[in-house]
């Protein structure tokens, strides 16, 4: 019975993982060496969670095999983002995990007890910021699409004030959804419908107030004309 329980524990999918990004750097192996060093460092630190390597399409199969077969990494191909600096945004799409820690391939911090960072992701999150070599987050397709949309808006050659206002609003939404483990587009559609109903109710109230003022004005004019 104990053997069966142990086997079941081994087969249970991980709900947490570390993740990093790898792009093809040609003859220069610095990025690949960084990922290899990160994988070995986590293994030497006795990590209980896998390292997911998000690879761009140009990463050769030979390097992918080294990461999977020799280092036990989980390799996931992702599509590029423009500008390339924001390729990290793709890691929000790994919704099969409840929580992840992003570690840059050149991460210089200590990997000892790095798993304790999973427990620090509480309280209101800061505004989405991906220019970092380490951050803790909860994957969400809704958040991924919001962040990618914000980048697309900010990269427009002639962004208007309205564009920037919408970006700001979406950042506020992302602040909220990043703390939710499994958010979906349906969540945001429901929130949008609720906001639409509130806006409609506000318009109805405004119309009623304007109607009262109009009727009062008509009454005042009528009285004035009657007596004067």
Which pLDDT score, from 0 to 100, does residue 46 have? 92
Whether 34 contacts 14, CB under 8 Å? no
Dihedral angle at the C-alpha atoms of 19, 21, 22, 23, nearest 10 degrees? 160
Task: Tell me which CATH code domain 12-139 carries.
Answer: 3.90.550.10
pTM higher than the cut 0.75: no
Task: Give the number of C-alpha atoms closer than 13 A to the C-alpha of residue 42, restricted to the C-beta side.
Answer: 26
**pLDDT tens-place values along the chain, 228 residues long:** 444 444 444 445 679 999 999 998 876 788 999 999 999 999 999 999 999 999 999 999 999 999 999 999 999 999 999 888 889 999 999 999 999 999 998 888 889 989 888 886 555 555 445 557 899 999 999 889 888 888 887 777 766 666 666 666 665 555 554 444 444 555 555 655 555 565 556 556 666 667 666 777 766 666 656 555
Strands 134-137 and 99-103: antiparallel
Task: Report phi then psi at 182, rounded to 5.
Answer: -140, 70
Catalytic residue ranges: 88
Domain ranges in the chain are: 12-139, 197-228
Which pLDDT score, from 0 to 100, does residue 26 have? 73
């Amino acid at each position: 019975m104990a053997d069966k329980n142990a086997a079941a524990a081994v087969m249970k999918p991980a709900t947490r993982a570390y993740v990093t990004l790898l792009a093809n750097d040609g003859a220069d192996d610095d990025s690949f060496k960084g990922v290899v060093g990160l994988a070995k460092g986590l293994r030497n630190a006795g990590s209980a969670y896998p390292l997911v390597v998000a690879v761009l399409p140009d990463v050769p199969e030979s390097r992918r095999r080294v990461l999977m077969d020799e280092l036990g990494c989980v390799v996931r191909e992702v599509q590029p983002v423009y500008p390339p600096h924001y390729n990290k945004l793709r890691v929000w799409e790994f919704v099969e995990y409840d929580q992840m820690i992003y570690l840059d391939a050149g991460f210089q911090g200590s990997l000892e007890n790095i798993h304790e960072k999973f427990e620090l992701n509480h309280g209101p999150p800061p505004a989405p910021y991906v220019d970092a070599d380490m951050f803790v987050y909860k994957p969400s397709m809704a958040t991924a699409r919001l962040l990618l949309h914000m980048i697309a808006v900010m990269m427009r050659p002639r962004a208007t004030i309205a564009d920037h206002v919408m970006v700001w609003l979406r950042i506020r939404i992302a602040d909220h959804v990043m703390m939710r483990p499994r958010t979906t587009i349906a969540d945001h559609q429901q929130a949008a419908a609720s906001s639409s109903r509130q806006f409609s109710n506000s318009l109805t109230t405004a119309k009623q107030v304007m109607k009262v003022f109009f009727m009062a004005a008509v009454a005042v004019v009528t009285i004035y004309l009657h007596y004067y």
